[in-house]
Amino acid sequence: MEDFYRDGGYAAANPSWHEADAPWKARQIRSILEDNDVSFETVCEVGCGTGEILVQLSEAFPRATFTGYDISPQALELARRRQRPRVSFHAKDVLTEPEGPFDLVLVADVIEHVEDYVGFTRGVRDLGALKVFHIPLDLSVQSVARMRPIMGLREGVGHIHYFTKDTALALLQDCGYHVLDWRYTASRLELPDQARSSRVVAPLRRAAFRWDPDLTVRVLGGYSLLVLAK
């Protein structure tokens, strides 16, 4: 799968690299950091894509420096246009060529793309003290029943692993993390440019989530998991 990101396959299928999602993702990350009174001076993002998440966070946290890493030359070409005094981007696999340690490590929508997702998750542990993971919860009753959503994610954006809340948290714990906080994020309800089917079911998801969040996510899907861990 790494060739998909290095040889331009992913860029051809997703020329924007989902950059429009970055402000929303940055707000979710900022929220969990502020709610837990996390202080930091150095931030690393593994799999930074175009780098817009770090750009957004650099504006919210003006005393910190931000470093992004990605293996895709196409993503880094876009990211480097956004470099500024406290934000830099590098084309390298930071797990095989370690940097840091950093105060905070971000892994936003990456684990589901990596062939050896256990080894990857374990390797991230040594890059810094605190981590924020954002993991899409692609497995739900409706996604398994229909299968089209799962296969669409596999073929369109390279998701090769699929999680529920419980399997995602178990992965982090099995890899030696202590979970400090977690929350659902309403990715299919709040991100821009959603499919018509997602827009149609959005009112039902919102109403059901207010009644029973865990059951709603397991049955209807449409959410991701945001985790602060050490």
- The 3 state secondary structure assigned to the chain is CHHHHHCCHHHHHCCCCCHHHHHHHHHHHHHHHHHCCCCCCEEEEECCCCCHHHHHHHHHCCCCEEEEEECCHHHHHHHHHHCECCEEEEECCCCCCCCCCEEEEEEECCHHHCCCHHHHHHHHHHHEEEEEEEEECCCCHHHHHHCHHHHHHHHHHCCCCCCCHHHHHHHHHHCCCCEEEEEEECHHHHCCCCCHHHHHHHHHHHHHHHHCHHHHHHHHCCCEEEEEEC
Q: Which residues of the chain have pLDDT under 50?
A: none
Q: Write down the pLDDT at residue 5.
A: 85
**Predicted pLDDT of residue 3:** 78
- Which pLDDT score is estimated for 107? 98
Tens of pLDDT, residue by residue over 78-130, are 999 989 999 999 998 888 887 879 999 999 999 999 999 999 999 999 999 99
Model pLDDT, residue 4:
79
- Domain borders along the chain are 2-139+147-194+223-229
| The domain defined by 2-139+147-194+223-229 carries CATH number 3.40.50.150 | yes
